[in-house]
Structure 1
Amino acid sequence: MSSPAAGSRPQRILITGASGCVGQYITEQLYRHSDAELLLLLRDPAKLTVVSADDPRVTLLVGDLRELTPHAGAIATATRIIHTATAWGDPLRAQQVNVEAVNQLLAFTSPVWLEQVIYFSTASILDRQLQLLPEAAEFGTEYIQTKALCLQQLEAHPLAAKIVAVFPTLVFGGQVGPGDRHPTSYLTAGIREATRWLWLAKWLRTEASFHFIHAADIALVCAHLATQPHHPNPEPNQGALRRLVLGQAPISINATVTQLCRWRRSWQPPFGIDLQGWLIEALIKLLRIEVNAWDRFSIRQRHFVHEPVSPPERFGLVSYAPTLQAVFETAGLPHR
């Protein structure tokens, strides 16, 4: 079987987790802005809202990621794979989905047709220089540990040169209320609840910072990568497998509270209580808050920032939601 000639047929892109928040944004972006044929792996077709299952460019592969054998033939026809599906909560399921199923998925691909794999991980397992955090394997939850293990395995995989590992930071998407056909991310769903505690948060101060990104901007980057020729990893100080942390410029917790106060038109005092480590520990004990080893590491770490970080602008694109104000607006967060 000879290699496919460039431009001989449309890209055939397999998207796992296609009914999830990020998966649906990616599916819609590729459907609207490419001629790619889309293979959508998902468990519940009823949750797919951004494209029609009857469209001739769409093929549904219905099933669990842990049972890929029925779809082996379709997987082998994919020229690109965008693997967003993941699992957490149950240690056994996390191991099966986040590690074993990834290996099985790659085993079913065709070395003749496959050009690229975009693999989704999480920025939480990386340090500032995009290297694997030792604490991820030592203290991480089942989700963190399995993502760390999978990354290590993929670095040594025969297909590593075809893999782009993307590490989303905090993901917003959808709306806080009804009316958006995209699923709502867990973070966006929590904004409304967070505003109920704004009366307390505005009296507190803490030195911590993070990146965020909207699912629409993740889709912009992934669609760009999936429709451009795949080249050897251009990133410095990395191996064959390319690592991209997807996020906007870092923002502090204090700035986040300030911006949320402005959006909600709520007065913020010019001073506040500094949440130092000893005070946080005292509050945990006083309020009897359950924390695990990863929670404690995160409290000590405080600054989850990375360099370089890759917003859409790094690829010559324009962000859909480059600021928190844009996130609040697109989420439909009320001002009051």
Structure 2
Amino acid sequence: MPARILITGASGCVGQYTAHWLLQNSDADLLLWLRDPSKLTAIQANNPRVRLLVGDLRETDRFASDLATVTRVIHTATAWGDPERAHQVNVVAVKRLLALLNPNLIEQITYFSTASILNRHLQPLPEALAYGTEYIQTKAQCLSDLEQHPLAEKIVAVFPTLVFGGRVDGTSPFPTSYLTEGLAEASKWLWLARFLRADASFHFIHAADIAAICGHLAVTPHQRNAEPGQGAVRRIVMGQPAISVNEAVATLCRWRGVARTPGIPLWPWLIETLIKILPIEVNAWDRFSIKQRHFIHNPVTQPERFGGTSHAADLEAVLQDSGLPHRGGV
């Protein structure tokens, strides 16, 4: 009998890439939970394997009968901005959703968090709960709660790094991620960035590669967490190998045909000066991030870990996929 997979946040960038992957690579029936069906641009709503659950995640009990029938959950839905709504969606609704699953039927829950709440060894950052944004705090709180949940051994927590997806020119059927949308704006600042050098590094991943990882997890037998030093919940940070900010700026400059200069190091005192003179609002979490600088993790997972091939294994492939005009030659 085909798997019955629930995807929350199904109209979002990652949700649609994941649903598309499962329709192409499995025979699973999909329950797509979303608030606005008109935003479902990459998936045919009338596909016989698709059923839409239209409503807010806070209306969980409306779909109690459907939730009791699913064998797998891919929970991508999230909220930020308003602290009360973030708590209700990112913590309360998650617990209620899990409570409505049939514990004898459910095989696996893939829960989306964020890599920002983990240190380089995939352990929770105390600072995330201490002074993170409402989004960061609720994600940290939920992960802590899930470690103690009766279904903990069936939960895989996935932690995306910086997510690209869709196209800046709007020609992709998939929604454009916030990071891809920001490429055009970032290009406008290359005239300044080309003069600067920063001692910082990060991971990124394309939504198509997130979908490949989550799809693999959803169609293969669930494995309990065997990682030493972790709890019952399995942790997977999704990202390509780390690159430096300087490498990223150099790649973007080459792509846009902007000449780089020897550069001025962004010393801490210079960063503080720029914060003071530029119209930038900086909160406690921002200051922690500036101080930390290197948002890297080990291990970090790509589709290759599960026998797949990355859709965008490097930043140049991301730029090619994004539709950002290429003006190379420098």
What TM-score do you get using the length of structure 1 for normalisation? Answer: 0.96
Match of 2:273 in 1: 282
Match of 1:97 in 2: 89
Q: Which of 121, 125, 136 does residue 113 from structure 2 map onto?
A: 121
Offset at residue 55 of structure 1 (A): 1.4
Match of 1:306 in 2: 297
Offset at residue 288 of structure 1 (A): 4.4
Q: Are 1:28 and 2:1 matched, yes or no?
A: no
Q: Secondary structure at the match of 1:221?
A: helix
Deviates more, 1:233-242 or 1:106-115: 233-242
Match of 1:86 in 2: 78
Match of 2:311 in 1: 320
Q: Secondary structure at the match of 1:119?
A: strand
Q: Matched residues in 1 for 2:268 and 2:123: separation? A: 26
Q: Are 1:293 and 2:281 matched, yes or no?
A: no
Match of 2:326 in 1: 335
Q: Which of 242, 245, 257 does residue 237 from structure 2 map onto?
A: 245
Q: Which of 204, 211, 235 does residue 219 from structure 1 map onto?
A: 211
Offset at residue 287 of structure 1 (A): 2.0
Q: Are 1:151 and 2:151 matched, yes or no?
A: no
1:297-324 residue CA offsets vs partner (Å, 9 max, x unmatched): 0000000000000111111110000000
Instruction: Give the letter aligned to residue 184 of structure 2.
Output: R
Match of 1:11 in 2: 3
Match of 1:4 in 2: none
> Which structure 1 segments of 5+ residues have no match?
1-8
Instruction: Give the letter aligned to residue 20 of structure 2.
Output: E
Offset at residue 237 of structure 1 (A): 2.3
Between Structure 1 and Structure 2, how many residues are aligned? 327
Q: Are 1:229 and 2:257 matched, yes or no?
A: no
Match of 1:197 in 2: 189
Instruction: Give the letter aligned to residue 316 of structure 1.
Output: G
Q: Matched residues in 1 for 2:177 and 2:205: separation? A: 11
Q: Are 1:184 and 2:176 matched, yes or no?
A: yes
Give matches, 1:53-72, under 5 Å: 53-72=45-64
Offset at residue 56 of structure 1 (A): 1.2
Instruction: Give the letter aligned to residue 209 of structure 2.
Output: D
Instruction: Give the letter aligned to residue 205 of structure 2.
Output: I
**Conserved in 1, the CA contact under 8 Å of 2:170 and 2:176?**
no
Root-mean-square deviation (CA, aligned residues, Å) is 0.8
Q: Secondary structure at the match of 1:68?
A: helix
Instruction: Give the letter aligned to residue 68 of structure 1.
Output: T
Match of 2:259 in 1: 267
Q: Matched residues in 1 for 2:278 and 2:60: separation? A: 45
Instruction: Give the letter aligned to residue 286 of structure 1.
Output: I
Instruction: Give the letter aligned to residue 69 of structure 2.
Output: T
Q: Secondary structure at the match of 2:235?
A: strand
Q: Secondary structure at the match of 1:66?
A: helix
**Conserved in 1, the CA contact under 8 Å of 2:7 and 2:76?**
yes
Segments of 4+ moved more than 2 angstroms? 234-237
What TM-score do you get using the length of structure 2 for normalisation? Answer: 0.98
Offset at residue 234 of structure 1 (A): 2.6
1:255-313 residue CA offsets vs partner (Å, 9 max, x unmatched): 001111111122111x1111011110111112242100000000000000000001111
> Which structure 2 segments of 5+ residues have no match?
none
1:24-49 residue CA offsets vs partner (Å, 9 max, x unmatched): 00000001110000000000011111
Q: Secondary structure at the match of 1:13?
A: strand
